[in-house]
């Protein structure tokens, strides 16, 4: 079953202003099946964040379709989009985006509070997640008291507590040291094994090697679509390094 379908997606910023017009995405087409862990790679400025923001319903495409969970996003008004984001999507950003005025528990509860969930139900949802992410001893601390890796695990807990259809991550390891990055990627793998669909934008070849599939964006299009299949993490890493070199050199000889 496809959880996401993107057809002829185009995004032009500042259309009509000759000096500042940017065609960030020309013609993007791909489908994501439920349970896939997809990484999106591409050079700086290739449109990765633009694509994620469109899927996240935070911006509108110039043309094309985004069908998420069998719903066409452009048919929704702002209020419906906000509700859709809260109910169907989970977000993890490079900068963690936690509120310093709330303790960890309340940060994680935030999306459920917005849905008027009962406190007991929130606690029941939190307990197994906090254990799995090893943040159960941090729940009464505040974000500024945590390390980067701990903050990112809290951000993941907040993103998955609503049981989202798709977890969207923009450079989730971007601000983490190598140990914390590994830990986070292990968590993503585990969450994915439970059936969670993940779409992750990353510059890190190491991070992308953990995904079950990697999409490369170039010249506003999906230039290469690589499935991990039976490859190990190490083999996928090698393959990604090689593929990136070939893509940089123009793309001829990609298999």
Number of residues in contact with ligand ATP under rule CB under 6 A = 12
Judged by CB, which is closer to ligand ATP: 46, or 244?
A: 46
89-93/166-170 β-pairing: parallel
42 secondary structure, DSSP code? -
Among 47, 111, 149, 172, contact with ligand ATP (rule: CB under 6 A): 47
121 secondary structure, DSSP code? H
88 secondary structure, DSSP code? H
Judged by CB, which is closer to ligand ATP: 162, or 204?
A: 204
Among 7, 10, 34, 49, contact with ligand ATP (rule: CB under 6 A): 49
Judged by CB, which is closer to ligand ATP: 49, or 62?
A: 49
- Three-state DSSP state, 1: coil
Minimal distance in Å, beta carbon 232 to ligand ATP?
27
d(CA 108, CA 89): 15
Biggest distance spanned by C-alpha atoms of the chain: 57
Please give the order of strands across the beta sheet that includes 63-68. Answer: 22-33, 2-13, 63-68, 71-72
Contact (Cβ atoms closer than 8 angstroms) between residue 8 and residue 47 = no
Binding to ligand ATP, residues 1-20 (CB under 6 A): 13-14
Judged by CB, which is closer to ligand ATP: 12, or 231?
A: 12
Minimal distance in Å, beta carbon 226 to ligand ATP?
18
Contact (Cβ atoms closer than 8 angstroms) between residue 181 and residue 172 = no
Read off φ and ψ for residue 224, nearest 5 degrees.
Answer: -155, 140
Among 17, 18, 19, 44, contact with ligand ATP (rule: CB under 6 A): 44
71-72/89-93 β-pairing: unpaired
Among 8, 15, 22, 95, contact with ligand ATP (rule: CB under 6 A): 22
Is residue 48 within the footprint of ligand ATP (CB under 6 A)?
yes
Is residue 111 within the footprint of ligand ATP (CB under 6 A)?
no
Judged by CB, which is closer to ligand ATP: 49, or 97?
A: 49
d(CA 15, CA 92): 30
Piece of 38-46, 89-97, 110-118, 157-165 that binds ligand ATP (CB under 6 A): 38-46
Among 24, 129, 157, 159, contact with ligand ATP (rule: CB under 6 A): 24
Contacts to ligand ATP by CB under 6 A: 13-14, 22, 24, 42, 44-50
């Amino acid at each position: 079953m496809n959880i996401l379908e993107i057809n002829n997606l185009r995004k032009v910023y500042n259309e009509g202003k000759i000096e500042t017009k940017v065609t960030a995405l020309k013609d993007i087409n791909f489908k994501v099946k439920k349970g896939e862990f997809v990484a999106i790679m591409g050079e700086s400025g290739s449109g990765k964040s633009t694509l994620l923001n469109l899927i996240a319903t935070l911006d509108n495409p110039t043309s094309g379709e985004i069908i998420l969970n069998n719903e066409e996003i452009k048919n929704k008004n702002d209020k419906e989009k906000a509700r859709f984001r809260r109910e169907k999507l989970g977000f993890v950003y490079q900068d963690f985006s936690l509120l310093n005025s709330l303790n960890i528990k309340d940060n994680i509860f935030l999306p459920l509070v917005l849905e008027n969930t009962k406190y007991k139900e929130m606690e029941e949802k939190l307990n197994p997640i906090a254990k799995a992410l090893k943040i159960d001893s941090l729940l009464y601390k505040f974000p500024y008291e945590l390390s980067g890796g701990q903050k990112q695990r809290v951000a993941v807990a907040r993103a998955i507590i609503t049981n989202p259809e798709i977890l969207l991550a923009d450079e989730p390891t971007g601000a983490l040291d190598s140990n914390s990055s590994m830990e986070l990627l292990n968590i993503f793998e585990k969450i994915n094994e439970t059936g969670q669909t993940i779409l992750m934008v990353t510059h890190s070849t190491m991070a992308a090697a953990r995904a079950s599939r990697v999409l490369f964006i170039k010249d506003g299009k999906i230039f290469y679509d690589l499935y991990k299949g039976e490859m190990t993490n190490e083999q996928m890493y090698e393959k990604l390094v090689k593929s990136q070199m070939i893509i940089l050199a123009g793309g001829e000889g990609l298999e």
